[in-house]
């Protein structure tokens, strides 16, 4: 029998048999005051967490079926609605053939000032988050290199990525035509055509390509084409803490990047390859260059096969000439 004290109290559900609750409804029946307060607090916390997660999802790529484009990835007009899945053709279908051909008359380049790089890896994290890069793989990364002579040594940082070369050796070795150079110089890979042979990975003198363990296709930096084609900056440039990375059009004489490239001493990685990279560095020393990994036997052969002689192209360009 119930005591006077217990009369009128709502019956609490047995442990493990709480009433089910769905969003939009009131609190479950039969809750004590203590559990009702817990329910209210938990609901508010869950709502805040969901809102934050939704804000992140609205600004970043969601996984969609390969070869298909998801129109609800982000609100229209934000600049993020053009994100693609694993295939560049998904983006191509959304915006005509822009992703395939690029912008005629432009030449996209990146300038990295090593004096400003602090090795924070913000660019690395942003790139992985932006482009759905699998664990352990990177489109851009920042290795640290020991420079100087013991005991007067220090750490230096050297951001790495695809150099989007003017004469890329990776193009000539692809048997499927899955990698090509757009009119604005950006070198891209199409997953639908790639057969996963890895020839381009071996031919790259900068170790900038890798085999994606999820798609089993070649993968690399594409200057965040889904962003830059809409007037945004690559994710690595936008998130660079020290402002070490800049992105621009070297064919535009009024572009700040162009003025800086032609006004300051700039260097490129492995100029002897003749690939004519379009990622430029400020304060790139010989010691940093000499500590770079690579397979010269592979990329030198690829250069000869492609007919790419080394030359004084960097000097001519620095003086204002065009190829």
For residue 111, give Cα distances in angstroms to 21, 29, 61, 148, 196: 55, 63, 26, 24, 31
Rounded to whole angstroms, the Cα distance separating 68 from 259 reads 40
CA nearest neighbour of 305 among 279, 281, 276, 275: 275
Between the alpha carbon of residue 166 and those of residues 34, 89, 236, the distances in Å are 68, 23, 21
Burial class (CB in 10 A: 0-12, 13-18, 19+), 193: middle
CB 258 within 8 A of CB 268: no
Model pLDDT, residue 28: 56
Question: CB–CB of 108/229 below 8 Å?
Answer: no
Query: What is the model's pLDDT at position 33?
Result: 58
Beta-strand ranges (E) seen in the chain are 108-113, 144-149, 152-157, 179-181, 187-189, 210-211, 218-219, 245-249, 279-282
Spell out, as residue ranges, where the chain has pLDDT lower than 70.
Answer: 1-100, 292-323
CA distances from 243 to 117, 239, 240, 269, 308 (A): 8, 8, 5, 20, 33
pLDDT at 75: 39
CA angle 203, 204, 207 (to 5 degrees): 125
Give pLDDT tens digits for 248-300.
999 999 999 999 999 999 999 999 999 999 999 999 988 888 876 544 444 33
3-state secondary structure 262-313: HHCCCECCCHHHCCCCCEEEECCCHHHHHCCCCCHHHHHHHHHHHCCCCCCH
Going by C-alpha positions, the residue among 314, 242, 308, 303 that lies closest to residue 278 is 314
Name beta bridge partners: 112. Answer: 245, 281
CB atoms within 10 A of CB 297: 7
pLDDT value at residue 281: 97
Q: How many residues are present in the chain?
A: 323
- Pair 313, 276: CB distance under 8 Å: yes
- Looking at residue 153, its pLDDT comes to 87
State the pTM of this model.
0.64
Confidence (pLDDT) at 256: 95
Query: Peptide bond before 151: cis, by omega within 30 degrees of 0?
Result: yes
- What domains are there in the chain, each with its CATH number? 105-318 (3.30.70.20)
Q: How far is CA 49 from CA 46, 57, 135, in A?
A: 5, 12, 25
pLDDT tens profile 62-75: 333 333 333 333 33
Residue 1 has a pLDDT of: 52
Question: Could you tell me what percentage of the chain is helix, strand and coil, using 3-state DSSP and rounding each to the nearest 5?
Answer: 30, 10, 55
- Nearest in space to 85 (alpha carbons), one of 235, 238, 234, 226: 226
């Amino acid at each position: 029998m119930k005591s006077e004290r217990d009369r009128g109290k709502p019956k609490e559900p047995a442990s493990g048999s709480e009433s089910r609750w769905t969003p939009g409804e009131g609190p479950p029946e039969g809750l004590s005051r203590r559990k009702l307060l817990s329910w209210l607090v938990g609901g508010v916390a869950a709502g805040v967490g969901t809102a934050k997660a939704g804000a992140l999802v609205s600004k970043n790529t969601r996984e969609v079926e390969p070869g298909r484009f998801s129109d609800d990835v982000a609100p229209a007009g934000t600049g993020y609605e053009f994100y693609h899945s694993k295939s560049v053709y998904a983006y191509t279908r959304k915006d005509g053939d822009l992703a395939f051909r690029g912008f005629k008359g432009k030449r996209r380049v990146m300038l990295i000032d090593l004096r400003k790089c602090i090795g924070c890896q913000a660019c690395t994290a942003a790139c992985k988050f932006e482009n759905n890069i699998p664990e352990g793989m990177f489109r851009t990364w920042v290795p640290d290199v020991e420079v100087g002579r013991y005991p007067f040594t220090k750490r230096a940082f050297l951001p790495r990525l695809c150099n989007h070369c003017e004469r890329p050796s990776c193009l000539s070795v692809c048997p499927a035509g899955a990698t090509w150079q757009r009119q604005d110089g950006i070198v891209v890979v199409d997953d639908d055509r790639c057969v996963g042979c890895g020839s381009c990975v071996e031919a790259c003198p900068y170790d900038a390509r890798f085999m994606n363990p999820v798609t089993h296709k070649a993968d690399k930096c594409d200057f965040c084409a889904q962003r830059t084609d809409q007037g945004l900056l690559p994710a690595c440039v936008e998130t660079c803490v020290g402002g070490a990375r800049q992105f621009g059009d070297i064919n535009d004489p009024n572009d700040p990047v162009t003025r800086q490239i032609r006004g300051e001493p700039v260097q490129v990685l492995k100029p002897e390859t003749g690939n004519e990279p379009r990622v430029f560095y400020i304060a790139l020393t010989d010691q940093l260059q000499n500590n770079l990994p690579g397979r010269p036997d592979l990329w030198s052969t690829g250069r000869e096969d492609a007919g790419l002689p080394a030359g004084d192209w960097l000097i001519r360009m620095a003086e204002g000439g065009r190829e």
